[in-house]
Copies of this chain bind each other. A is one copy, B any other.
């Protein structure tokens, strides 16, 4: 543990800019990774072939399966990972390095360091379970150590919210679910990540315009309360009518600015009929049923009801089970923050060094050494029956899930585009056993280990 003096003069613009430089992501790591790298270099072990694996220690409560996400952006960053000259100069100035006996070659090597290893990974959009490798990194020890923090920071959140999105889509039973989360994410960048994985997991689109543009995701939008307020309550009908006239492409109007039922009646009288009304507050089951009746009474049976407001998979499930007449859902806070589960215990562990088995023997944490492969079996209609984890050199029945993604520091081409990932995810999620889909009390999916791994584990005292 080292407190560094903070004495560097900083230009004012460096005081606040909360952004990462995509050309210098090398320093987006924890300090100990860099001291480890320097130490490995001093010992001359930095080039020893190491294998680290990424896995989920345990599934969060209520989750029967996870969707592995965040892979493709991570891979692009990994092959581009480097330090800027400025970063290296700054690093050298830290007291921990100033006082260390590190070969000067270390700093020269850092300036040209790239990730030159191999990455094997599940496809993005794959269904994943606890205690099986999602990714295997085979690289010189120093490089594999370097990337740990960035790998975990890049995979855990997308995996968490892709899974959340899939649960919401499932609960909506065919009705569109749309990401409205931008304003509620953990910083403006979280909105980009969430919009992308929401689309992967089956959302119908996003309100996040830049995300829609970058990834070609359908952009959705309704109307602001301020629009209605700019007319005033007595002119709410004008507010609806003028909006629909200006934007005749599927206009959706917000009816809860003043008196919701009155707003619905006004919206029902607009000509031509609006495409949808949006309910964003209040008692949704009651309001939606009354809205449906009002709309139908006004020959507006084609006008849809769009609902939002702190919706999660549990509320959506209750609404669709009760056959509340809601046609589409907007999800914000509960989606983008992970809602009931805002964190995921993904870890990155050394399992093999110089071909020898390695483990961390902490109490209560069962692990298997060696680089591994995961083999998935399906029944005659394609439902997943179980995963079988073997040493990476073993063969087994089923489909091997870890496939080469980076080889010798280069992307294994072609990479899937987002549409391919989305289709793959839908296909895989459709094949999980039905009991894993229970939102509250899912069953447990069988993951077993080869005798060779079990023997290796026992031989190391586990």
Query: Known contacts being A18-B193, A247-B96, A276-B1, is A188 close to B154, with CB within 8 Å?
Result: yes
Among B7, B176, B214, which residue has its beta carbon within 8 angstroms of that of A14? B214
CB-CB nearest in chain B for A341: B342
Among B192, B224, B248, which residue has its beta carbon within 8 angstroms of that of A145? B224
Which residues of chain B are near A15, meaning CB under 8 Å?
72, 215, 415, 417-418
Proximity string of chain A (207-224) to chain B, C-beta cutoff 8 Å, 1 when within and 0 when not? 111101111111111111
Query: Known contacts being A5-B218, A247-B99, is A208 close to B30, with CB within 8 Å?
Result: yes
What separation, in Å, do the CA atoms of A208 and B28 have in the docked complex?
Answer: 7
B275 engages A1 (CB within 8 Å): yes
Among B7, B180, B209, B275, which residue has its beta carbon within 8 angstroms of that of A27? B209
Which residues of chain B are near A363, meaning CB under 8 Å?
281-282
B153 engages A230 (CB within 8 Å): no
Which residues of chain B are near A154, meaning CB under 8 Å?
187-188
Q: Which of A34-42, A371-379, A388-396, A449-457 faces chain B? A: A34-42
B187 engages A153 (CB within 8 Å): yes
| A333-382 residues at the B interface, CB under 8 angstroms | 333, 337-339, 342-343, 345, 349-350, 353, 358-363, 365
A35 engages B223 (CB within 8 Å): yes
Which residues of chain B are near A249, meaning CB under 8 Å?
2, 95-96, 98-100
A152 interface hit (Cβ, 8 Å) = yes
Question: Closest approach, in angstroms, between the C-beta of A146 and any C-beta of chain B?
Answer: 11
Which residues of chain B are near A101, meaning CB under 8 Å?
245-246
CB-CB nearest in chain B for A233: B361
A328 interface hit (Cβ, 8 Å) = yes
A174 interface hit (Cβ, 8 Å) = no
A219 engages B94 (CB within 8 Å): yes
A216 engages B10 (CB within 8 Å): yes
A299 interface hit (Cβ, 8 Å) = no
A222 engages B187 (CB within 8 Å): no
7 smallest CB-CB distances across A and B, nearest first, come from A31-B221, A342-B342, A32-B221, A186-B186, A152-B183, A189-B189, A1-B252
Given contacts A1-B304, A13-B76, A38-B246, 11 further A-B contacts (CB under 8 A): A1-B278, A16-B73, A35-B223, A35-B247, A36-B227, A90-B213, A96-B221, A185-B186, A229-B359, A337-B338, A337-B343
